[in-house]
Structure 1
Amino acid sequence: MGNTDKFEMIANVYDTPERIQIAKVSSDAIREYLVDAKSKDAIDFGCGTGLVGMNLLNEFRSMLFLDTSENMIHQIKQKISDYDIQNADTFCFDFEQKGLSDLHADYIFMAQVLLHIHDVQLVLSRLFDVLIEGGHLLIVDFDKNEKIASDIVHNGFDQAELTEIMTKIGYRNIQSKTFYHGSKIFMGQDASMFILDAQK
């Protein structure tokens, strides 16, 4: 996945008050879309240090924290051990490099992850394969922001364009909305975040 080397360097100082706050806002938004999740298995995709997934642990039967950065995964393993968490596991893997046929989940969520992914359609297709029939992918990310110019991340996403890409892949019942506006939350710029729910 894009920018793994950057995340490797900041893993042990990643949990700033700002990131913890955004993770709380993101996990609260995701929680609203969960249905009968206590009997379901989830993947926190591009989990970083697990700030979002940790907030949602009690909502699911099990959670797999998945990231491309070994150092981020190390941080999660430490939290799982420190808090003696029984229903979580970790996995270091890069879906931009290859797909994975033997991994399945009822829910996959990704918060501020898509903007780091170079080939959005490829990764969303591979995640579609991981979802069980009827499973949900929940994406929390930034709305397209013309003030952002970056070589390393997308400048957010147009919800309609993203819906179109996902419809072509095979996702259905796609719904999305902007749910949060924050000051200087996206590369030093004021920005809004959306949540998108799509079903297989």
Structure 2
Amino acid sequence: MEENIFETIAKKYDSPERIELANIIARKVSEELIQSKDKTLIDYGSGTGLIGLQIADSVKTAILVDSSENMVEIINNKVAANKTPNVKAFVADFTKDMIEIKADIILVSLVLLHIPDTKVILEELYETLNTDGNLIIIDFDKNPNVYHPKVHNGFVADELEALLTSVGFKSTDIQPFHHGEKLFMKHDATLFIAVSKK
């Protein structure tokens, strides 16, 4: 069993830098959720809920899913402390586990870069979405200066759009929305938002 690095860092995950970046992302995602009060959202790879808990008010039900038990435990503690009854959290890895839930919106924020086979996870997310549902991806533009054996160094918009189309998504809109210093493995980086309709 490969060690989940996120189990190890869970308790120290909510650093000031991560909180600041999560706030920027949450504000951007909220713009996509203006008419979503009756919707179910899955935040896949939710970490400690830094984004998912901020956007939970925009939807009927927010389901935060992470492969790290320690991350999910932290989410559950936050939910209990803040009394957010429309939030559920559980441990799962969509690339390995059979998932019975469906959602109208799925958010994957800074998650794809950690998953070796992008197409496989996109196929699973496509199947989990209800018809006409939206997949919202937040990730980094490709950066040739970044190298890590277990992390993609970002994504090229055209290539990602082609991959999403090949999985079955009808349309995708990809826009850069934030550039920051030392955001991505100590390199300057640009974040994009990709919204795809099933």
The one-letter code sitting in structure 2 at the alignment partner of 1:70 is E
Are 2:108 and 1:110 aligned?
yes
Are 2:24 and 1:25 aligned?
yes
Measured against aligned partners, the alpha-carbon deviations of 1:135-157 in whole angstroms (never above 9, x if no partner) come to 00000000000100110210000
| 1:4–1:69 contact (8 Å) kept in structure 2 | no
Aligned partner of 2:57 in structure 1 is: 58
Are 2:118 and 1:120 aligned?
yes
Whole-angstrom distance in 2 between the partners of 1:88 and 1:187: 31
Structure 1: state its 5+ residue gaps. none
Number of equivalenced pairs: 197
| 1:99–1:126 contact (8 Å) kept in structure 2 | no
Aligned partner of 2:161 in structure 1 is: 163
Measured against aligned partners, the alpha-carbon deviations of 1:73-100 in whole angstroms (never above 9, x if no partner) come to 0000100111111001111111111442
Whole-angstrom distance in 1 between the partners of 2:136 and 2:120: 16
RMSD between aligned residues: 1.1
The higher relative CO (CA closer than 8 Å, separation ≥ 6) is in 1
Aligned partner of 2:171 in structure 1 is: 173
| 1:106–1:135 contact (8 Å) kept in structure 2 | yes
Q: How do 1:1-200 and structure 2 match up within 5 A? A: 5-100=4-99, 102-200=100-198
Structure 2: state its 5+ residue gaps. none
TM normalised by structure 1 equals: 0.96
The one-letter code sitting in structure 2 at the alignment partner of 1:90 is A
What is the DSSP-based 3-state SS (H/G/I as helix, E as strand, rest coil) of the residue aligned with 1:26? helix
Alignment identity in percent?
A: 38
Whole-angstrom distance in 2 between the partners of 1:196 and 1:30: 10
Measured against aligned partners, the alpha-carbon deviations of 1:114-159 in whole angstroms (never above 9, x if no partner) come to 1001111001101101100000000000000010011021000011
